[in-house]
């Protein structure tokens, strides 16, 4: 029997489309990239030439792309502000939607996306690829088996000493909605909530800072024009969940600290054991009067030239997503979960602004 091909359109052919979505989708034999849209036509043309089928279409208006009834799936890879309108239009046009993180610029927009997915019955997922890392997949299984007991403290990290993205609209608050918190803190909070399987915040206190005197000094991508960067250098959240668990979230693009901790890092403390993803995954506990650390080997077991199923999180994300579409099964990153991430991030920004805690219903 001929393999069914899922026809995919890409909206926004910039950094993440080229760095993650298009290369990983193009490795799937049951996917065809048939349409590319970017406000800058040359970017869509280049993407088509590199990843598209020979008769793939190029657009500069996503609404035109959505009229193509052959397209089953769209990937929304535009800046944060347009995630909600484009995803919602795509869902109502009958497409399944993979939207980049963060889900939306505002919590209200994120809730509208959840509602649109429900109303249309189409699938919606968010590009939180840290959930698809081998470390997270392994740890999720360990936690589901109950090894950690009750997780009552977590620390989610996305800490850069210097790492302010200065291209595109990353420094444009209107387009992005914020700096490191919404950009990379979002990944760490997502993976933490996912591993805790806890989506019920009760209260949030947040602070944010724009204090570093020389954030461009040592920035890997160079500097920016005077006055162009209005974003916070760093933002921190103290989140209390309804079951009493605490999550401490640290995020920065620029911070004078010795130890940077990559986004997607998390430390989980449970009643029976602890675990962390910081580089690799480590589980810790106490037994037989000793403190013990377990570091699982997540390599391919010493097999050279391993060409089996890829462990690359971008490829696992694409595979799991297309499988969910083809088999009509649940997506890994559920829109309701990503929406809670957006609600907590917004509460941190609100608390940082007002100096008051934010309480959830
Ligand atoms: N998952 C990750 O780790 C990760 C990493 C980087 C970026 N991102 C996310 O991806 C999104 C895009 O970031 P990027 O780095 O690719 O930015 P980028 O500026 O490199 O690319 C965005 C592209 O979208 C195009 N665009 C803007 N509005 C459009 C519209 N209405 N219709 C069609 N095209 C439009 C722009 O012309 C640009 O080419 C952001 O939301 C960002 O947070 C996620």
Q: What is the pLDDT of residue 307?
A: 64
Q: What is the pLDDT of residue 84?
A: 98
Taking the C-alpha atoms of residue 26 and residue 36, their distance in angstroms, rounded to an integer, is: 13
Do the strands 246-252 and 234-241 form a parallel or antiparallel pair, or are they unpaired? antiparallel
User: Ligand 1 within 6 A of 179 CB?
Assistant: no
CATH number of domain containing 276: 3.30.360.10
Task: Give the three-state DSSP class for 235.
Answer: strand
User: Ligand 1 within 6 A of 165 CB?
Assistant: no
> Do 81 and 140 have their domain in common?
no
Cβ-contact 32, 8 below 8 angstroms: yes
Index of the ligand 1 atom closest to the CA of residue 37 = 33
User: Ligand 1 within 6 A of 263 CB?
Assistant: no
Cβ-contact 16, 75 below 8 angstroms: no
The count of domains in the chain is: 2
> Do 25 and 60 have their domain in common?
yes
Q: Ligand 1: distance of its center to the CA of 152 in Å?
A: 35
For 139-186, what is each residue's pLDDT tens digit? 999 999 999 999 999 999 999 999 999 999 999 999 999 999 999 999
Q: What is the pLDDT of residue 338?
A: 98
CA distances from 217 to 152, 162, 166 (A): 38, 8, 13
Q: Ligand 1: distance of its center to the CA of 139 in Å?
A: 30
> Do 319 and 347 have their domain in common?
no
Cβ-contact 332, 125 below 8 angstroms: yes
Burial 27-54 (b: 16+ CB within 10 A, else e): ebeebbbbbbbbeeeebbebbbeebbee
Dihedral sign computed on CA atoms, order 171, 173, 175, 181: positive
Question: With bands split at pLDDT 50, 70 and 90, how would you rate the model's confidence at 309?
Answer: confident
**DSSP string for residues in 92-126:** HTT-EEEEPSSS-SSHHHHHHHHHHHHHH---EEE
User: Ligand 1 within 6 A of 105 CB?
Assistant: no
Q: What is the pLDDT of residue 3?
A: 82
For 264-298, what is each residue's pLDDT tens digit? 999 999 999 999 999 899 999 999 999 999 999 98
Cβ-contact 321, 129 below 8 angstroms: no
Q: Which domain holds residue 22?
A: 6-130+312-333
User: Ligand 1 within 6 A of 217 CB?
Assistant: no
Residue 307 belongs to a domain = no
> Do 147 and 215 have their domain in common?
yes
Residue 308 has pLDDT above 90, yes or no: no
Residue 1 belongs to a domain = no
Rounded to a whole number of angstroms, the distance between the first and last alpha carbons of the chain is: 52
For 40-64, what is each residue's pLDDT tens digit? 999 999 999 999 999 999 999 999 9
CA distances from 14 to 19, 43, 98, 102, 229 (A): 8, 7, 16, 16, 21
How many other β-carbons are positioned within 10 Å of the β-carbon of residue 94?
A: 13
Residue 306 has pLDDT above 70, yes or no: no
> Do 144 and 284 have their domain in common?
yes
Index of the ligand 1 atom closest to the CA of residue 169 = 19
Q: What is the pLDDT of residue 214?
A: 96
Q: What is the pLDDT of residue 139?
A: 98
Candidate of 48, 57, 60, 100 to mutate for ligand 1, largest count of ligand atoms within 8 Å of Cβ: 100
Q: Ligand 1: distance of its center to the CA of 10 in Å?
A: 11
> Do 115 and 161 have their domain in common?
no
Q: What is the pLDDT of residue 300?
A: 72
Residue 306 belongs to a domain = no
Residue 107 has pLDDT above 90, yes or no: yes
How many other β-carbons are positioned within 10 Å of the β-carbon of residue 353?
A: 10
> Do 54 and 111 have their domain in common?
yes
Question: How is residue 147 written in tokens?
Answer: 């090894």
Residue 305 belongs to a domain = no
């Amino acid at each position: 029997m001929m393999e069914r091909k899922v026809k995919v359109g890409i909206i926004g052919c910039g950094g993440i489309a080229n760095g993650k979505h298009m290369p990983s989708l193009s490795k799937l034999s049951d996917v065809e990239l048939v349409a590319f849209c970017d406000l800058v036509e040359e970017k869509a043309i280049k993407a088509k030439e590199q990843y598209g089928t020979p008769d793939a279409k190029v657009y500069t208006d996503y609404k035109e792309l959505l009229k193509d009834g052959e397209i089953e799936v769209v990937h929304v890879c535009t800046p944060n502000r347009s995630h909600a309108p484009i995803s919602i239009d795509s869902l109502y046009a009958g497409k399944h939607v993979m939207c980049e993180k963060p889900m939306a610029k505002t919590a209200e927009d994120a809730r509208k996306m959840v509602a649109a997915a429900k109303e249309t019955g189409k699938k919606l997922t968010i590009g939180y690829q840290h959930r698809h890392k081998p470390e997270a997949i392994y740890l999720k299984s360990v936690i589901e088996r109950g090894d950690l007991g009750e997780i009552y403290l977590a620390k989610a990290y996305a800490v850069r000493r210097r790492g302010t993205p200065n291209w595109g609209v990353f420094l444009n608050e209107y387009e992005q909605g914020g700096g490191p918190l919404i950009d990379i803190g979002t990944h760490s909070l997502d993976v933490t909530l996912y591993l805790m399987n806890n989506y019920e915040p009760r209260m949030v206190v947040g602070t944010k800072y724009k204090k570093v005197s020389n954030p461009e000094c040592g920035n890997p991508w160079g500097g920016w024009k005077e006055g162009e960067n209005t974003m916070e250098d760093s933002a921190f959240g103290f989140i209390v969940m309804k079951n009493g668990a605490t999550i401490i979230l640290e995020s920065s693009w620029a911070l004078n600290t010795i130890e940077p901790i990559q986004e997607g890092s998390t430390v989980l403390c449970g009643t029976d054991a602890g675990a962390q993803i910081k580089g690799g995954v480590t589980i810790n506990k106490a037994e037989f009067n000793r403190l013990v650390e377990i570091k699982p080997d997540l390599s391919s077991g010493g097999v050279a030239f391993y060409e089996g199923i890829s462990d690359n999180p971008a490829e696992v994300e694409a595979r799991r997503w297309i499988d969910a579409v083809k088999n009509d099964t649940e997506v890994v990153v559920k829109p309701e979960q990503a929406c809670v991430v957006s609600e907590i991030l917004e509460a941190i920004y609100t608390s940082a602004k007002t100096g008051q805690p934010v309480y959830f219903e």
